[in-house]
């Protein structure tokens, strides 16, 4: 970073400006640990959907096959009871005409047999409604006496009675199962007789009897089973189709991102990731785009650094070699001035190497602070005294301070920071070659400001100047201008010292770089 007035060959060597396929980012090194491993998204989705389908089918099978009989019976029985109650309501309201038509309608719509008797006295009854829709109906095929027995049983049972019968296909008749007489039947068909007592407006007793088969028709059961098989097939095919569609919508964008990521890994940092999937995939594309931009930036900086360093190394080396050869071949050139040039150039090399070492140490966190009580005012004036050679070249380096300040810090790190700022100021100051260093004490800090009268820094570049390897002017202004590491060293060191730093600049009228250390003097 040490400035000098030397002008040397400014051509770039081009080292490091080669193809982006350099070793650090080589796509050939991309790990293939997971490549081609794990099930395809489609099969995984299909598996989940198939499990889902299987659960639905089991539920359907339970309802349609296993519990069909009991559910059907429950529904049928409650249906019969509701119908009987509706009919008794009509009786109670003396609406006999409506009673007939409603009985007919219910009998056909609910597959019931209806028989309603008006009980005139103990042994006689008049048939009011009779609808016989079922073959072998229990209530229409019983004798008169049984009906009176049924009436008596209903009275004894509190006004209603439910009786179950089972069909015997050999005798083609129903046997009661309610009173324990279970016929040896070859048929599953079960029938129910629901008896309900009612009274009309005049208090006349009625016997309402409803009969219905409560076993599902075997054809219905077979239909349901066949349907279940067809539905199973359809649902499985549908799951496969859904898995295919969903996996396509998810995996296509992922495959595209993967292809772009491979290009990026291969060193194509201008690769951009297109986001046209769902939100998560879009966010991933955003992150990858950000990573690509950052990688590109780092790669640019890296190449620039190598170009700069090689240039900066070559310039002093060329000078040393040139002056050395001249002094060897021409004894008259062996002057103290020429020897001084060789020494200066060697110092520049040392300072460059030191900068690079410093920044790598700071970045790796290996730098230990050596703290002691330091009179920073004296240290600053001592350091600025070393610029006497520049003063002879027409530079003015002013140092103003309000009072002497002693605080606990790492002296060499602190001086290195100010040294970097002063070197920059010397490099960038205006034609008046003026650099002002000021030390001011405030309530809880001491501030050192380094002001130059140069061009200042454009506002859009301000944010980046503290970055490693960043240079506002990509082209070297003077052969001595540094590597873009100086301010990054300032930043990292101030963070370590627990201080703050910043810059006040206005384009055209110079910049003031400042650092502050905590101080309660």
- Of 304, 298, 303, nearest to 264 by C-alpha is 298
Q: Does 175 bind ligand ADP (CB under 6 A)?
A: no
For residue 39, count CB atoms less than 10 angstroms from its CB and return exposed for 0-12, middle for 13-18, buried for 19 or more: exposed
Closer residue to ligand ADP (CB): 102 or 413? 413
Minimum distance from residue 335 beta carbon to ligand ADP (Å): 31
Residue 432 lies near ligand ADP (rule: CB under 6 A): no
454 binds ligand ADP (CB under 6 A): yes
- Closest approach of Cβ 247 to ligand ADP, in Å? 51
| Binding positions for ligand ADP, 361-380, rule CB under 6 A | none
Looking at the Cβ atoms of 99 and 390, the one nearer to ligand ADP is 390
Nearest distance from residue 342's CB to ligand ADP, in Å? Answer: 23
Q: How many of the other CB atoms lie within 10 Å of CB of 409? A: 23
* Helix (H/G/I), strand (E/B), else coil: 191: strand
Least separation, in Å, of the C-beta of 315 and ligand ADP?
14
- According to CB under 6 A, which residues from 252 to 311 bind ligand ADP? none
For ligand ADP, which is the closer residue by CB, 213 or 489?
489
Separation CA 503–CA 138 (nearest Å): 106
Owner of token pair 């439910």 = 162
Binding of residue 136 to ligand ADP (CB under 6 A): no
457 binds ligand ADP (CB under 6 A): yes
Q: Which one of 16-24, 29-37, 160-168, 449-457 is the stretch in contact with ligand ADP (CB under 6 A)?
A: 449-457
| Burial of 24 per CB tally in 10 Å (0-12, 13-18, 19+) | exposed
Indicate the SS3 state at residue 435.
strand
Q: How many residues bind ligand ADP (CB under 6 A)?
A: 22
Q: Which is nearer to ligand ADP, 277 or 510 (CB)?
A: 510
Q: At what angle do helices 96-109 and 68-92 cross, to 10 degrees?
A: 170
Nearer to ligand ADP, 127 or 473 (CB): 473
Cα of first residue to Cα of last residue in the chain, in angstroms, is: 33
Closer residue to ligand ADP (CB): 49 or 487: 487
Sheet holding 434-441, edge to edge: 396-401, 434-441, 445-452, 511-518, 500-505
Angle between helical axes of 279-329 and 336-364 (0-180°, round to 10):
160
Q: Which of 112, 139, 425, 515 binds ligand ADP (CB under 6 A)?
A: 425
Considering only residues 462 through 521, tell me which ones interact with ligand ADP, judged by CB under 6 A: 465, 470-473, 481-488, 511
Using DSSP, how many helices (H) and how many strands (E) does the chain show?
A: 12, 13
Q: How far is the CB of 455 from ligand ADP (least distance, A)?
A: 6
**Can you tell me whether residue 140 is helix, strand or coil?**
coil
Q: Can you tell me which of 424, 480, 492, 493 binds ligand ADP, judged by CB under 6 A?
A: 424
Structure tokens at 237: 């095919």
Binding residues for ligand ADP, per CB under 6 A?
1, 420, 424-425, 428, 452, 454, 457, 465, 470-473, 481-488, 511
């Amino acid at each position: 970073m040490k400035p000098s007035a030397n002008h040397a060959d400014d051509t770039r060597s081009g080292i490091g400006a080669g193809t982006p396929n350099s070793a650090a980012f080589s796509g050939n090194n991309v790990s293939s640990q997971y490549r081609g491993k794990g099930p395809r998204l489609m099969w995984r989705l299909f598996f989940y959907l198939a499990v889902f389908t299987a659960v639905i089918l089991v539920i359907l099978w339970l309802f349609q096959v296993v519990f069909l009989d009991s559910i059907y019976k429950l529904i049928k029985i409650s249906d019969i009871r509701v119908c009987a109650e509706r009919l008794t309501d009509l009786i109670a309201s003396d609406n006999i005409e409506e009673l007939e038509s409603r009985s007919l309608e219910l009998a056909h719509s609910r597959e019931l047999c209806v028989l309603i008797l008006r009980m005139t006295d103990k042994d006689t009854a008049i048939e009011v409604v009779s609808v016989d829709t079922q073959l072998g109906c229990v209530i229409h095929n019983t004798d008169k006496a049984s009906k009176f027995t049924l009436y008596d049983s209903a009275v004894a049972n509190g006004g209603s009675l439910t009786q179950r019968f089972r069909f015997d296909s050999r005798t083609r008749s129903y046997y009661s199962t309610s009173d324990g007489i279970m016929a040896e039947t070859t048929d599953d068909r079960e029938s129910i007789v629901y008896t309900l007592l009612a009274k009309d407006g005049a208090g006349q007793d009625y016997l309402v009897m409803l009969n219905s088969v409560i076993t599902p028709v075997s054809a219905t059961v077979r239909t349901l089973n066949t349907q279940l098989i067809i539905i199973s097939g359809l649902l499985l095919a549908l799951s496969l189709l859904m898995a295919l569609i969903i996996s396509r919508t998810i995996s296509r964008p992922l495959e595209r991102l993967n292809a772009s990521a491979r290009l990026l890994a291969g060193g194509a940092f201008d690769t951009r990731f297109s986001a046209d999937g769902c939100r998560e995939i879009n966010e991933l594309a955003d992150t990858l785009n950000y990573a690509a931009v950052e990688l590109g930036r780092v790669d640019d900086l890296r190449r620039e650094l190598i170009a700069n360093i090689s240039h900066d190394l070559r310039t002093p080396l060329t000078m040393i070699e040139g002056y050395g050869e001249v002094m060897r071949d021409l004894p008259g050139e062996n002057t103290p001035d020429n020897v001084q040039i060789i020494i200066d150039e060697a110092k520049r090399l040392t300072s460059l190497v030191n900068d690079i070492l410093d920044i790598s140490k700071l970045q790796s966190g290996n730098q230990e602070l050596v703290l002691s009580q330091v009179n920073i005012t004296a240290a600053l004036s001592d350091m600025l005294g070393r610029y006497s050679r520049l003063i002879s070249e027409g530079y003015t380096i002013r140092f103003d301070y309000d009072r002497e300040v002693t605080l606990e810090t790492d002296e060499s790190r602190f001086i290195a920071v100010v040294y970097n700022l002063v070197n920059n100021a010397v490099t960038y100051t205006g034609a008046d070659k003026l650099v002002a260093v000021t030390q001011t004490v405030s309530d809880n800090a001491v501030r050192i400001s380094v002001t130059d009268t140069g061009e200042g820094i454009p506002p859009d570049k301000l944010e980046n100047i503290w970055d490693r390897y960043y240079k506002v002017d990509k082209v070297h202004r003077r052969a001595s201008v540094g590597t873009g590491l100086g301010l990054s060293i300032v930043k990292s060191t101030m963070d370590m010292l627990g201080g703050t730093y910043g810059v006040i600049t206005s384009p055209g009228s110079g910049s003031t770089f400042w650092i502050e250390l905590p101080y309660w003097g």
